[in-house]
């Protein structure tokens, strides 16, 4: 499973992660950057530490699970 994580900072300086499962591949860094700017500008999400105020990064996270037969 692949997840796109958008990482923001909030008004208290804490990190807030927004996870998007199964993003369209390949990801476009320019589009991600613009989307994160839009999320901040339009104040789409709030966190326990206040509004999202900055971008801390973005990353693709892949998770592989292998079942073990007992």
Task: Flag whether 8 is in a domain.
Answer: yes
Task: Flag whether 38 is in a domain.
Answer: yes
Task: Sheet with 50-62: list strands edge to edge.
Answer: 15-21, 2-10, 50-62, 46-47
Q: Which pLDDT score is estimated for 1?
A: 86
Distance, CA of 7 to CA of 32 (rounded, Å): 11
Number of domains, the chain: 1
Is the overall model pTM greater than 0.85, yes or no? yes
Over the chain (70 residues), what is each successive 10-residue block's mean pLDDT? 96 96 94 97 92 97 94
Domain that holds residue 14: 2-62
Q: Which pLDDT score is estimated for 5?
A: 98
**In angstroms, how far is the first alpha carbon of the chain from the final one?**
24
Task: Flag whether 69 is in a domain.
Answer: no
């Amino acid at each position: 499973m692949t997840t796109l994580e958008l990482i923001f900072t909030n008004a208290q300086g804490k990190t807030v992660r927004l996870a998007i499962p199964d993003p369209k591949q390949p990801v476009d860094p320019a589009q991600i950057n613009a989307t994160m700017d839009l999320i901040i500008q339009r104040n789409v999400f709030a966190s326990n530490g206040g509004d999202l105020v900055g971008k801390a990064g973005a990353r693709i996270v892949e998770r592989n699970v292998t079942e073990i037969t007992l």
